[in-house]
Amino acid sequence: MAFDGITTKHLIKELQATIMGGRIRKIYQPENDEIRMTINREKENYNLLISANANNPRVYLSEKLKENPNTPPSFCMVLRKHLLNGIIVDIVQHETDRVIEFSISGKMNSTMW
């Protein structure tokens, strides 16, 4: 299935219904081009996987967890510093592109593309 603007729109609706208003509890970087966040909302935990893989970019909720490295990469540590315990206040599509914008409130209000 092609990952186009229409698919992105429907994905955002699902993410808004599931994780919006949730708190980011854990952040991992299992691969160089992947980030996994554990998000807690209404006593449920959700694992959001964001991959920037050149051949297979994707964003989805997953129950399967990859093995994490013993030492987190620097980028993961920066994400933890700024986003950990933040609340996802909005998830929107950037125009009609395949770009998803997460607005997160916390130590500093952040927008993650």
Q: What is the DSSP secondary-structure string of 31-46?
A: ETTEEEEEEEETTEEE
CA gap 88, 107 in Å, rounded: 13
- Does residue 110 have a pLDDT over 70? no
pLDDT of the residue at 106: 80
What residue ranges do the domains of the chain occupy?
5-112
Q: What is the mean pLDDT of residues 75-103?
A: 93
- Does residue 11 have a pLDDT over 70? yes
pLDDT of the residue at 60: 94
pLDDT of the residue at 3: 73
pTM: 0.87
pLDDT grade for 1, boundaries at 50, 70 and 90: low
In this predicted model, what pLDDT tens digit does every residue of 40-56 receive, in sequence order?
A: 999 999 999 999 998 98
Higher pLDDT, 110 or 33: 33
Task: Give, for 62, the enclosing helix (H) or strand (E).
Answer: strand 58-62
Domain 5-112 has CATH 3.30.70.260: no
